[in-house]
Amino acid sequence: MQKNQKFAAKNVTGWKATLAVSMTNYIEAGSIIAAASSLTLWQEYLGLNSVKVGLLSALSANAFGAAIGALIGGYLTDRYGRKIIFNYDLLIYMFGAALIAASINFPMLLFGTIIIGMAVGAGVPVAWTYISEEAPKEKRASRVGATQLAWSIGPALTFVLATLAAPLGLLGSRLIFLHLLIIAFFIWYLRRGLPESKIWEEQKRQEQKEITKGLIQKNALKELFTLKANRQALILLLGIYLFWNLTAGAMGYFMPYIYENVGGLSTAQANGLQSVLWTFTVITTYFVFMKLADKYSRKLIFGIGAIMGVVAWIILTVSPMTWPTLIAFVLLWGSAAGIGAQAFYALWTTELFPTRYRATAQGIMYFIVRAGIAIWSFVLPTLMDNLGFVVAGVVMIVFLIIHAIIGIVMAPNTQGKTLQEIELERYGDETMKERATNL
């Protein structure tokens, strides 16, 4: 083993590799919830005004911080390999978490927030890409679903920790970030033993053959937008993920606020309700998406989840926010999220683009989605204050209807096929046959 790989786990393959990679989503979601649940505490401790609070939100792992990280990480992943991100992104994350845990002023808190946001953003595209590339074709949804499972467990557990740590005040928030730091260290250790993606290595060998024969490499960024197959994939993936996230992303940051200010719940009740919601997401992710999406119609599963999400928000919007309403919403939305756009986006975004710019495409789309969430999150509180929650809820419902229509109409038939088979099927006439002829 090379010198720089001595401090690393051994034989990190199969489900152990899936666990090591998918936990990126745990610390991403955990970081968002840890920041959201402690925002008021930091505001009181440091005397933050609304501008500083807005900066923390906009540059966090929930918005622009992650968006910028994904843009950079996606490019580096395709250019230099999947392992380069695995080796370094969590070291950066740990520094950011330590900085937040030790913050005594606003610059420390803001800098730590930006670092964490960029680190988790860089890790998301490579996580989905690596798992999909290494998974057996008959288990790809199951393996990619592990990232969704980790993403769901993160908020569920972090909300529980936030509830338990509430009596400690700001110290409790610092301890939550320390727990994320410890988990990040464990994940980083496991990842050091991961092999490079075999599909990426084969792609690089293919590119080298082309260069040796004097063939001109096409510009990946230009090709991403000029090929018909790519444009169709972008419409599908941005359509379902952006419009779903305009609701789900805002929920992740503002739902406790809505429970408390519209429903009259206490902070403990709001955090407990969210914990239950995410628990149902964990359940449906595992028992429906991971168990069934490789065997049964993905369009059907997506459609059921999308319709459940729309119904959940109709109930929350038009009914008085009583306990029966809240319980119905939590059951429906929590279950829908486990088989919804997040899970299918993670799967389809790795299937529908060629290997040479698979992660780059994800980084660009993730940037657009997170930027959209940042803008909507900035507008949403003002919208609710001026026009009321019902108007905001109707807008959320419209977003969800748009995402449902796009997903149901454009869902691809990729089940049971290898990534190479999907790539040849989608790009054969435009790129791959041309290259094969020249070689």
* Residue 270, both tokens: 């709001």
Residue at token pair 């088979």:
421
Distance CA 28, CA 49 (A): 26
Residues 148-168: what's their mean pLDDT? 82
357 DSSP assignment: G
State pTM to two decimals.
Answer: 0.84
> What pLDDT does 7 receive?
59
Q: What integer best gives the mean pLDDT of the chain?
A: 85
pLDDT at 382 over 80: no
- Provide the percentage of residues in the chain whose pLDDT is more than 90: 40
Please report the pLDDT score of residue 435 as a whole number.
Answer: 43
Residue 41 has pLDDT above 50, yes or no: yes
Least confident of 18-32, 308-322, 350-364: 18-32
pLDDT number for residue 38: 82
What is the rounded average pLDDT of the residues 212-221? 62
- State yes or no: pLDDT of 2 exceeds 80: no
Give the pLDDT confidence score for residue 104 in this predicted structure.
Answer: 94
Quote the Cα angle for 140-146-148, to 5°: 110
The whole-number pLDDT of residue 362 equals 92
pLDDT computed for residue 305 by the predictor: 96
- The rounded Cα 259 to chain-centroid distance in angstroms is 24
The label of the residue with tokens 């069934």 reads 292
Q: How many residues does the chain have?
A: 439
DSSP letter at 85?
H
Mean pLDDT of 53-64: 78
* Confidence class for position 252, pLDDT limits 50, 70, 90: low
The Cα–Cα gap between 389 and 370 comes to 23
Q: How far is the C-alpha of 265 from the C-alpha of 278, rounded, in Å?
A: 18
The Cα 317–Cα 312 span in angstroms is 9
Task: Give the residue, 430 or 347, on which the prediction is more confident.
Answer: 347
Q: Identify which has the larger pLDDT, 28 or 177.
A: 177
Q: What is the pLDDT of residue 431?
A: 53
CA angle 130, 99, 127 (to 5 degrees): 5
pLDDT (tens digit, 9 = 90+) per residue, 409-428?
A: 999 999 989 998 998 888 87
pLDDT of residue 310: 96
Task: Give me the pLDDT at residue 304, please.
Answer: 97
Kindly tell me if the per-residue pLDDT of 46 is higher than 80: yes
pLDDT band (50, 70, 90) for residue 434: very low
Q: Provide the pLDDT for residue 433.
A: 47
C-alpha separations of 402 from 242, 289, 398 in Å: 10, 22, 6
Under 8 Å between Cβ of 325 and 104: no
